[in-house]
Structure 1
Amino acid sequence: MSQMVGNDEEDLVVNLSLEDSQGGRFRNIFGVVRLIWTELTAGVGAWGSLKPLVAGVLAVVPFLFLGQHFNRQHQKGFDWMLLQLPLALTILLWPVLWAWSILDAYRVAMVAVSEAENRRRALELVS
């Protein structure tokens, strides 16, 4: 048993204007592709989004700490390489250092990308 107390319905009218301009569709398609690309790469471009992954993959190579060298942290890579010698004797702690180097290489690359993007955006605002 339903009763209508009042007519609270409202009509919503949407008007869409069609543009008859030449090339309007291609501009929209390229705009959509550009938007998708920006979203996929988090606005930092292809290399900015791949750099942390490359650093992490290089850091997976055991004993060499290539991820740190890739991030231009040569002193850290060299120090960790020397640190692994006594840790290799304790077999238990060496995998911890190795896993930490993978995470560190990824994190440092992410920070480098975000700092570069922040500098680029700051320069855009200034100019």
Structure 2
Amino acid sequence: MRRHDFGHEYQPVDVIIGSEHPTRGLDAFTLTYLRAERQVRKIFTHLVYQSNAFGPGDGKLLRQTLHDAKRLAFKNFDKGIRSLSDTSIQAMVGGESQRLAARLLDAKTVRDKLFHGQLSDKYLGTNDLFGL
């Protein structure tokens, strides 16, 4: 399997972190989480489009199905990736996968609170959000 450098995906985060803007911790955190979700979704959709179950004329229907899906999350994308490729996100990531999965779960809890305008009980400051 070809390894991909995802550094370009996170360049905007580096710009935000390097800024002096007072919300840079929150902004970097939310964009990082969004980009991580995007990467997993891209793996899944690439596998779907390469599957023999679908042909060139199925693109519009597949996009609509993904649009209408209510439960698209890391866990469900992993199930789909396993079904389509006989491998898992954990296998693709390697030795750091368990640690990163735990961090993403923590991050999702914080993200859900922040995205719904609620307060987290973790009292996270800028550096805490950078760390998460």
What range is the shorter-chain TM-score in?
0.3 to 0.5
Between 1 and 2, higher relative CO (CA 8 Å, sep ≥ 6) is seen in 2
TM-score (norm 1): 0.34
TM-score (norm 2): 0.33
Rg larger in structure: 1
